[in-house]
């Protein structure tokens, strides 16, 4: 659903659920007795998107200074104090000029002279910044920021990019002013098939979903089966190691298992062993986004951790405290954010699992 044209839909949804809440069961007899209509509060908690016209934006306010405090506490460890860091993620701020703010086009994107594209060079709508921070940040604890904190953070970022002055207090009313100064506000094109809905001539945006490429169906003299014309030779498959292992273990794994030991076993799901449960916990808690079992990603691999703390009796207690409070310096300059939102018991079983070799089974 386009973020531009969802207005009427979500309104209708809320209305439909509100009327259902009065009745006893769903009117459609097919699923009677199953489930219940979502409550107003549940829909409110779920429906958090903010659109470019600021529909869905909840009232609130945050100043640049308030944003800076939150930034230093929760964001600067990965993004740098000024959003300039290139260590964990690409820079957020930089590459825009005062002229860009006037024209609404980032010149260095056209000239290609910026060494790297920063987020503020590319983003066209301030609502995107707000929505993304609100929805997904901080990476280790998404949706933990209050509404006013998000306002503050957006104000701080806009101030870093010199879009708003240092004494700016962003709220739901003046966010449109900030939008009118976004450096790349005129840089977004919708005249292509990625935008669904009606074409521009009929009051929508985009070209009506017409794709850029034409996959013409073969109607005569067609091949009957797909033939793979060439494959990487087996000896070259491992040129870059085992590809499957190099994927972060979150989400679907896309790399091919090139270890030569790939097994395809469709065993019945057995109850999780202690190791498997801990591995799942590590996945669900986001540990695997930064740590690999046998390789360094952003933080050290678990094998390195085991090697470092081998033979130390108090390693477990030490590591539990470190995971809880976060740390920096042992493995380099990139800090590990504090994981206080995890239960103590969970942290202890994670640390035990890591020290025992982080086995999957």
Partner 1 sequence: MADPMKIRASAKDGITEVKVLMSHEMETGQRKDSSGNLVPAHFITELSAEHNGKQVLAAQFGTAVSKNPYLAFKFKGGAKGDKLAVSWVDNKGDKRTDEVAIN
Instruction: Write down the least CB distance from residue 126 to partner 1, Å.
Output: 21
CB-side neighbour CA atoms (13 Å) of 127: 16
- Is residue 72 a contact residue for partner 1 (CB under 8 A)? yes
Count residues contacting partner 1 (CB under 8 A)? 8
Give residues with Cβ within 8 angstroms of 348, minimum separation 6: 316, 320
- Is residue 99 a contact residue for partner 1 (CB under 8 A)? no
- Is residue 106 a contact residue for partner 1 (CB under 8 A)? no
Which position among 160, 178, 278, 279 is part of the footprint of partner 1 (CB under 8 A)?
160
Nearer to partner 1, 49 or 162 (CB): 162
- Helix 344-355 vs helix 302-309: angle between axes, to the nearest 10 degrees? 80
Buried b (16+ CB within 10 A) or exposed e, 142-164: eeebebbbbbbbbbbbbbbbbbb
DSSP 186-211: T-----STTS-SS-GGGTSSTTSS--
Phi-psi region of 233 (alpha: psi -120 to 50; beta: other; left: phi over 0): beta
With contacts defined by CB under 8 A, name the span among 14-22, 80-88, 271-279, 341-349 that binds partner 1: 80-88
- Is residue 94 a contact residue for partner 1 (CB under 8 A)? yes
- Is residue 124 a contact residue for partner 1 (CB under 8 A)? no
- Is residue 82 a contact residue for partner 1 (CB under 8 A)? yes
Which residues in 299-358 contact partner 1 (CB under 8 A)?
Answer: none
- Is residue 84 a contact residue for partner 1 (CB under 8 A)? yes
Phi-psi region of 165 (alpha: psi -120 to 50; beta: other; left: phi over 0): beta
Instruction: Write down the least CB distance from residue 86 to partner 1, Å.
Output: 10
Residues that bind partner 1 (CB under 8 A): 72, 80-82, 84, 94, 160, 162
């Amino acid at each position: 659903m386009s973020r531009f044209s969802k207005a009427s839909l979500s309104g209708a949804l809320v209305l439909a659920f509100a009327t259902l809440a009065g009745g006893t069961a769903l009117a459609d007899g097919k699923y009677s007795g199953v489930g219940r209509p979502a409550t107003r509060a549940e829909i409110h908690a779920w429906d958090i998107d903010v659109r470019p016209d600021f529909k869905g934006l909840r009232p609130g306010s945050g100043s640049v200074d308030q944003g800076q405090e939150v930034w230093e506490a929760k964001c600067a460890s990965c993004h740098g104090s000024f959003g300039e860091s290139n260590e964990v993620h690409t820079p957020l701020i930089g590459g825009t000029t005062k002229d860009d703010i006037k024209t609404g086009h980032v010149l260095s994107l056209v000239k290609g002279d910026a060494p790297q594209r920063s987020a503020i060079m590319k983003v066209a709508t301030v609502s995107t910044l707000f929505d993304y921070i609100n929805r997904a940040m901080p990476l280790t604890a998404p949706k933990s920021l209050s509404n006013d904190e998000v306002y503050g953070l957006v104000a701080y970022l806009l101030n870093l990019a010199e879009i708003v002055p240092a004494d700016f207090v962003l709220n739901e009313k003046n966010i449109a002013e900030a939008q009118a100064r976004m450096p790349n506000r005129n840089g977004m094109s919708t005249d292509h098939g990625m935008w669904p809905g009606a074409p521009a001539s009929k009051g929508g945006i985009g070209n009506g979903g017409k794709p850029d490429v034409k996959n013409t169906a073969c109607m005569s003299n067609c091949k009957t089966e797909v033939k793979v014309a060439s494959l990487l030779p087996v000896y070259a498959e491992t040129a870059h190691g085992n590809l499957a292992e190099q994927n972060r273990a979150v989400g679907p794994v896309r790399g091919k298992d090139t270890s030569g030991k790939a097994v395809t076993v469709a065993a019945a799901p057995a109850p999780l062993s202690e190791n498997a449960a801990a591995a799942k916990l590590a996945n669900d808690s986001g540990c695997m986004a930064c740590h690999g079992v046998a390789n360094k990603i952003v933080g050290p691999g678990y094998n390195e951790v085991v090697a470092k703390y081998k033979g130390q009796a108090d390693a477990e207690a030490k590591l539990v405290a470190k995971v809880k409070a976060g740390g920096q310096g042992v493995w380099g300059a990139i800090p590990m954010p504090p994981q206080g939102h995890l239960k103590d018991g969970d942290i202890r079983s994670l640390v035990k699992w890591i020290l025992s070799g982080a086995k999957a089974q």
